[in-house]
Amino acid sequence: MEKEIILLVEDNPDDVDLTLRALKKNNIKNQVVVAKDGVEALDYLHGTGLYAGRNVKELPVVVMLDLKLPKISGLEVLKSIRQGDSTRLIPVVILTSSAEQKDVIEGYQLGANSYIRKPVDFEQFVEAVKILGLYWTLWNERPSSLPR
Amino acid sequence: MKIKIRLKLNTWISLGALVLVILTFAWSIGEVNRAERNVLLVDEIRKASYERIYLRDDHLLNPNEQTKIRWYAQSETLRGLLESADKRITGPEDRILLQDARAYFEATFSSFSTILEKQKEPTEGKKLSVDEAEPTLISQVYRNAYALNASIVKLHESSRRAAIAVRNRVIIILILFVVGIVIAIALNSIFISRVVTKRVAALSRGVEIIGGGNWDFRIDERGDDELSDLAHASNGMILKLKESQEFAESVINTVREPLISLDQDLRVVTVSRSFYEFFKVKPEETVGQLIYDLGNKQWDIPKLRELLETILPQKAAFDGFEVEHDFAGIGRRVMLLNARQIQRVLGKERIILLAIEDITERKAIEAGLETTRKELAAIKIAADEVSEFAENIINTVREPLLALDQDLRIVKVSRSFYEFFKVKPEETVGQLIYDLGNKQWDIPKLRELLETILPQKASFKNYEVEHDFAGVGKRIMLLNARQIQRVLGKERIILLAIEDITERKAIEAGLETTRKELVKARDAAEASNKELESFSYSVSHDLRTPLRSIDGFGQALLEDYQDKLDDTAKSYLDRMRKATQHLGRLIDDMLKLSRVTRSSMHYESVDLSAMVRDISENLRREDPARKVEVIIREGVFVSGDADLMRIALENLINNAWKFSSKEERPQFEFGTTVKEGKTICFIRDNGVGFDMAYVDKLFGAFQRLHTSLEFPGTGIGLATVRRVINRHGGEVWVEAAVGKGATFYFTIPGFGQPDPGS
């Protein structure tokens, strides 16, 4: 089992399935943890709530973050990640339907590593996920030890 | 007696003498002639007498009748001659002699007549006897004849003598006359010359004395001739000269500025009193000195030397030479020197008049004055301008303006006042303001303003007075007043401006309503804009999500259940996915259009050429199989929003690409032209073009001129282009024809010079 986890923050089950399908189609075999809203995502990262007791030192290689989320919005999640000592170096890729400039700019300002708009065309989506997954899981060099 | 008269007299005497001499000469000739005629007459008498004696004697010897007749005739001739002599001879002795001769003639005549009578008695043939009484008678005849002859001879001699005497007398008289005249003329001439010489000498001496400088000498004026007149005139002239000399001297001594006169050796001749006072020198150390030696050589100034020794001999005068010098006793001074060289009339030498003016203070004052003058001129100009300006303002301002004196009587009224209140100048100026136009201005509020508030505060502002004015109706007037102290006069004037704000008030009320409505509308617009924004957001996010699901699972179905689906099912799924993707594009385009409308503009210099190149490169990459000839004009810059311009260009270029896709040799061109001074960009393709009849529909949203089968599209692109160009304040239009391609033109105000920095 791959240790390197992808955290997918996505409330729409269709999108979750399609994303997982796209990853699978591209032979990206990393473990994918799906958080259905912002709260869940943060619980996972901080080992709280649903994920209480989780070893928080195991950080995901990349967080794929939707913006439009119930409870806590994607941008708030991003902000929280960047503010947390243990989480601030985690690569975060915004994967969303919105291409609003406002969101793009704010996303990058808050420290997103990438911003990808989900295409309607599934083939294009698969292509995007492929590139994304390969890049962040294989090619990207991470800091060896994360500061506490 | 005048010399002229004397000279005339000389001439007259000469002429008179000449006439006298001529008369005397004529008379003398007459006298001489008369004397000589007497001599001839007496000579004739003598000859006649001798002839008679011959006849007597002849008869006595041979008595005949013939001799007797001849004797009688001769006697008668002699008597006649004697009688004419008696008339002409005047001398007393001659007259006695003539009387004697006549008496002897008569005696002889009677005696011989008697003899002749006696001889008649004897008969003829008988010899006449002369005896008897005859001898006595004959002797008587002889005696008397002898006496007669003697008298005549005496008379002859006497007449000759008389003639000679007359001649001599005439000569003497003539000589005496000539001599007398010559003496008279000579005497007169001598007298004249003596008088003239003496008097001229006196005159000349007098003039010489005066010329020598003795202006008090008077030439002797006695006499009544021309020379005394001349002497009198000379004296008068000298008096005048003396007066002018005295005047000149007093001028020299009176003038404030120091004046000195120098001789030709530049020695001081005379000095004005002011010179002594000014330079603190004394006459005894000044007159006769060389000017350069004056007062410890303080006048030994190179400039003065040059003036006196070089310039003056050449030009005879110099004026206004300024000399700045440090004078002993009075310090550093600026002196103004004026000099004249004068040729003395009587003497040979020249003198130099030198006037010295101390202009030190004057220079200082002049400098100050000039400044003051300029300032004054500037102030005057300003004042004139202000005054004119004020006058113009009064007559130009639209609102009626009144100037009142301190008794609130009208002094001046602007044209607009007359026009507005329909009054005439003659019923306005000089009136009390309250009495104007049937006392329509007698308003308590105005009284209060003018009589209570103005004296306290000197002005009031924007007092509204509502009043029913005769002629103009019920009006709201805005009153502004200012109390002004007149600069030149003592009195105060009050400027009162009256503005009719009736309409303005109404408009203001209307405006306020409109403003409120506008605010409301703006608020509504803002709200709807916000709504639209969140709507767009929702659309972009929420509408696309299900589409993605449809498309994604449709694809999954096709992939995972490939063997269980027949071709029709696969085709349906395919069409579903296509429709989904089209809807996705529609949503995207709508979002773009809405973004183009809402987003704020950030102007910068945009390199359109580079942008076009970039977009067409992208298109080429997307479809490398297509060979499109691309012509791009380089260096087209515009000031605009880069994002929006890119959206517009993408749409236009996409269109060009798309609609030329069926050509064999597709062409695409980006370029510019200039029309009416404006730069116009165009994007041209040689594609299918379109019918210009539908051009109006072209830029509307969701309007398409081709089917999706022919050319895919959402119908939003050109609407977006137009909105982008409109937001830049520009225009976009198109020229096309079916089968001949289309050219899209656009121009925006931001076209400028190429920006090399960008």
Average pLDDT estimate for B537-561: 83
The torsion angles phi and psi of B498, rounded to 5 degrees, stand at: -120, 120
Interchain contact, A120 vs B548, CB within 8 Å: yes
* Structure letter (DSSP) for residue B453: I
Average pLDDT estimate for B413-424: 79
Interchain contact, A98 vs B540, CB within 8 Å: yes
| Banded model confidence at residue B440, pLDDT cuts 50, 70, 90 | confident
Average pLDDT estimate for B597-605: 83
**Using CB atoms, which residue from A18, A99, A100 is nearest to B552?**
A18
Listed in sequence order, the residues at least 6 apart from B162 whose beta carbon sits closer than 8 Å to its beta carbon are B35, B38, B39, B91, B94
Q: Which of B126, B112, B123, B52 is nearest to B82 (CA)?
A: B52
Quick one: closest CA in A to B576, which residue?
A: A121
- Distance, CA of B24 to CA of B172 (rounded, Å): 11
Whole-structure pTM over 0.90, yes or no? no
Query: B705-723: per-residue pLDDT in tens?
Result: 777 667 777 778 888 898 8
Q: Does residue A12 lie within any of the structural domains?
A: yes
Lowest-pLDDT range of B133-137, B409-413, B492-496, B634-638: B133-137
- Distance, CA of B506 to CA of A40 (rounded, Å): 65
Q: Does residue A74 lie within any of the structural domains?
A: yes
- Distance, CA of B648 to CA of B640 (rounded, Å): 12
Q: Which of B530, B533, B536, B541 to mutate to test the interface with A (most CBs of A within 10 A)?
A: B541
Q: Which residue has the higher pLDDT, B130 or B663?
A: B663
Tokens 């064999």 sit on residue: B664
- Distance, CA of B280 to CA of A73 (rounded, Å): 111
Asked whether the predicted pLDDT for residue A1 surpasses 60, the reply is: no
Consecutive H or E run containing B84: helix B65-88
Tokens 């300003």 sit on residue: B382
Average pLDDT estimate for B484-498: 71
Share of chain B above pLDDT 70, in %: 93
Average pLDDT estimate for B85-94: 81
**Using CB atoms, which residue from B540, B546, B551 is nearest to A99?**
B540
Q: Does residue A96 lie within any of the structural domains?
A: yes
The torsion angles phi and psi of B446, rounded to 5 degrees, stand at: -65, -40
Q: Which residue has the higher pLDDT, A42 or B244?
A: A42
| Banded model confidence at residue A7, pLDDT cuts 50, 70, 90 | very high
Q: At what angle do helices B3-61 and B134-211 cross, to 10 degrees?
A: 170
Interchain contact, B541 vs A97, CB within 8 Å: yes
List of chain B residues whose C-beta atoms are within 8 Å of the C-beta of residue A125:
548, 552
State whether residue B474 sits within 8 Å of chain A by CB.
no
Asked whether the predicted pLDDT for residue A106 surpasses 50, the reply is: yes
List of chain B residues whose C-beta atoms are within 8 Å of the C-beta of residue A68:
541-542
- Distance, CA of B136 to CA of B56 (rounded, Å): 16
Average pLDDT estimate for B376-392: 75
On whether the CB atoms of residues A78 and A111 are closer than 8 A, the answer is: yes
Share of chain A above pLDDT 90, in %: 26
* Structure letter (DSSP) for residue A142: P
Three-class secondary structure of residue B400 per DSSP? coil
pLDDT the model gives residue B123: 46
Consecutive H or E run containing B58: helix B3-61
Q: Does residue A122 lie within any of the structural domains?
A: yes
List of chain A residues whose C-beta atoms are within 8 Å of the C-beta of residue B546:
14
Interchain contact, B552 vs A122, CB within 8 Å: yes
Asked whether the predicted pLDDT for residue A79 surpasses 90, the reply is: yes
**Using CB atoms, which residue from A17, A101, A120 is nearest to B544?**
A120
Residue A62 belongs to domain with CATH number: 3.40.50.2300
pLDDT the model gives residue B450: 82
- Distance, CA of B722 to CA of B655 (rounded, Å): 14
**Which residues on neighbouring strands pair with residue B473, listed in sequence order?**
B469
Q: Does residue A144 lie within any of the structural domains?
A: no
Say which amino acid occupies B311.
I
pLDDT the model gives residue A84: 87
| Banded model confidence at residue B754, pLDDT cuts 50, 70, 90 | very low
Share of chain B above pLDDT 90, in %: 6
Quick one: closest CA in A to B533, which residue?
A: A100
Interior CA angle at B143 toward B140 and B147, to 5°? 135
State whether residue A110 sits within 8 Å of chain B by CB.
no
State whether residue B714 sits within 8 Å of chain A by CB.
no
Task: List A residues 78-107 in contact with B (Cβ-Cβ < 8 A).
Answer: 96-101
- Distance, CA of B259 to CA of B262 (rounded, Å): 10
Query: B44-62: per-residue pLDDT in tens?
Result: 888 888 888 888 888 888 8
Q: Which of B110, B30, B116 is nearest to B69 (CA)?
A: B116
Interchain contact, B540 vs A97, CB within 8 Å: yes
List of chain A residues whose C-beta atoms are within 8 Å of the C-beta of residue B554:
122
Q: Which of B407, B394, B409 is nearest to B497 (CA)?
A: B394
Asked whether the predicted pLDDT for residue B190 surpasses 80, the reply is: yes
List of chain A residues whose C-beta atoms are within 8 Å of the C-beta of residue B599:
101
- Distance, CA of B375 to CA of B363 (rounded, Å): 18
- Distance, CA of B97 to CA of B89 (rounded, Å): 10
- Please give the mean pLDDT across all residues of chain B: 81
Most confident of A117-126, B450-459, B631-640: B631-640
Task: List B residues 553-612 in contact with A (Cβ-Cβ < 8 A).
Answer: 553-556, 577, 580-581, 583-585, 588, 591, 595, 599
Quick one: closest CA in A to B591, which residue?
A: A100
The domain of A66 spans: 5-139
Number of domains in chain A: 1
* Structure letter (DSSP) for residue B398: S
Interchain contact, A122 vs B583, CB within 8 Å: no
State whether residue B622 sits within 8 Å of chain A by CB.
no
| Banded model confidence at residue B756, pLDDT cuts 50, 70, 90 | very low
| Banded model confidence at residue B752, pLDDT cuts 50, 70, 90 | low
On whether the CB atoms of residues A101 and A119 are closer than 8 A, the answer is: no
Asked whether the predicted pLDDT for residue A30 surpasses 70, the reply is: yes
| Banded model confidence at residue B164, pLDDT cuts 50, 70, 90 | confident
Interchain contact, B544 vs A100, CB within 8 Å: no
pLDDT the model gives residue B317: 81
pLDDT the model gives residue A110: 93
Task: List A residues 9-38 in contact with B (Cβ-Cβ < 8 A).
Answer: 12, 14-15, 17-18, 21
Most confident of B275-284, B547-556, B586-595: B547-556
* Structure letter (DSSP) for residue B700: S
State whether residue B675 sits within 8 Å of chain A by CB.
no
State whether residue A115 sits within 8 Å of chain B by CB.
no
Separation in Å, CA of B703 to nearest CA in chain A? 24
Q: Does residue A65 lie within any of the structural domains?
A: yes
Size of interface A-B (CB pairs under 8 A): 67
Q: Does residue A147 lie within any of the structural domains?
A: no
| Banded model confidence at residue B421, pLDDT cuts 50, 70, 90 | confident
